[in-house]
Amino acid sequence: MAIVRDGMPPFALYQPASIEDALALAGRFGANAWVLAGGLDSLERFKDRSILPGAVIDLGRIDALRGVSQTPNGDVVLGSLTTLTEVAGHPLLRERFGVLAVAAGEVASPQIRNQGTLGGNASQDARCWYYRGGFQCYRAGGNLCYADTPEGMNREHAIFGASRCVAVSPSDTAPALVALDARFVIRNGGGTRTVAAEDFFVGPADDITRLNVLGPGDILTEIRLPPTWAGATHYFEKVRDRPVWDFPLVGIAAVIRTRGERIEQARFVLSAVAAKPWRLHGAEAAVAGKTPRDAAAAAEKIAADGAVPLTHNAYKVTLVRNLVKRAILGKEAA
């Protein structure tokens, strides 16, 4: 059994006042550094000693990483340290990109949303209790997935995209960002790169040690929302055990454009069913050109294709099918 220690290990704390200073520190310490945003997930892991950084770079004093703005070409730019509370309540986001505002408002509790950041929520690590508890599983460098065994506790784990590891991405905002074609701006000592949201997240077949592309020296500085899906009909639902605090069992972020009485284009992205936000490409293609009622029937039929349930999470298959139908028809009609 893994031993959990409720005490932080020693580390050097740095609190830079500018992005440039933070980048210099991140480059200096490399893999020995931990970049801190809101700190909610990080501090828990420090206490459990599941990560042991030599240097912690606290971004909290960098005002340039906060806020919501709009560019002349219509992009909406969100600083990575913008709080979830601000994302949930910002008038521009509520009007143009409602699915992200709703998703941010469903994270945890008001106290956590006041401290937690958009970049931190999207970038958080897997919460599998074996991995978090110090077990030497595949994700932690071992040679076994404890959840994917006959005796494993896997009620909350993956039904799609598993490759040795069956942990899931716990983020509520990540599926909304993928649905909206968001772009992640990442800086390091070598320059700046922009990564599409769908490519920002990493599955275990590509790299079993992480859930996103951020590496040593990298800092996520902003997230950009292009006008592609601005004003589209949106739907977000998060199924969880308790209405406050809990991470999703299964969730969906959807945006839909219609022409007349038919669906022209749609995006359906699931949470908590894979190690990254899981986009339902087949369902998106199936609904194009159909009325909502016909689209819902077609999408529900194929939404869970390819799912491989574990011992205790077959219920997720039913949730996936129902959530896609509800995203098209609404809770009441479905």
Q: 267 forms bridges with which residues in the sheet?
A: 255
Task: Give me the DSSP letters along 264-312.
Answer: EEEEEEEESSSSS-EE-HHHHHHHTTS-HHHHHHHHHHHTTTT----TT
Q: Which pLDDT does position 4 carry in this prediction?
A: 52
Strands 183-188 and 191-196: antiparallel
Are domains 64-123+168-228 and 231-329 of this chain identical in fold? no
pLDDT class for 6, splitting at 50, 70, 90? low
Q: Where are the domains of the chain?
A: 12-61, 64-123+168-228, 231-329
The CATH number of domain 12-61 is 3.30.43.10: yes
Arithmetic mean of pLDDT over the chain: 95
The one-letter code for the residue type at 224 is R
**What percent of the chain has pLDDT above 90?**
90
pLDDT band, very low/low/confident/very high, at 5 (cuts 50, 70, 90): low
Give CA–CA dist 270/119, Å, rounded: 19
Task: Please report the pLDDT score of residue 257 as a whole number.
Answer: 98
Residue 243 pLDDT class (50, 70, 90 cuts) = confident
**Region 220-230 average pLDDT:** 98
Query: Of 41 and 285, which is predicted with more confidence?
Result: 285
Q: Which two tokens stand for residue 62?
A: 């960098």
Chosen CATH of 64-123+168-228 out of 3.30.70.1230, 3.40.50.2300, 3.30.465.10, 3.20.20.140 = 3.30.465.10
Residue 293 — φ and ψ, nearest 5°?
-65, -45
pLDDT greater than 90 at residue 85? yes
Report how far residue 188's alpha carbon sits from residue 68's, in angstroms, rounded to the nearest whole number: 22
More confident residue, 289 or 44: 289
Q: Which residues contact 87 (CB under 8 A, 6 or more apart)?
A: 68, 78, 93, 100, 101, 104, 118, 173
pLDDT for position 7: 74
Confidence at residue 331, expressed as pLDDT on a 0 to 100 scale: 84
In degrees to the nearest 10, what's the CA dihedral of 131, 135, 141, 142?
Answer: -130
The per-residue pLDDT for 227 is 98
Domain 231-329 has CATH 3.40.50.720: no
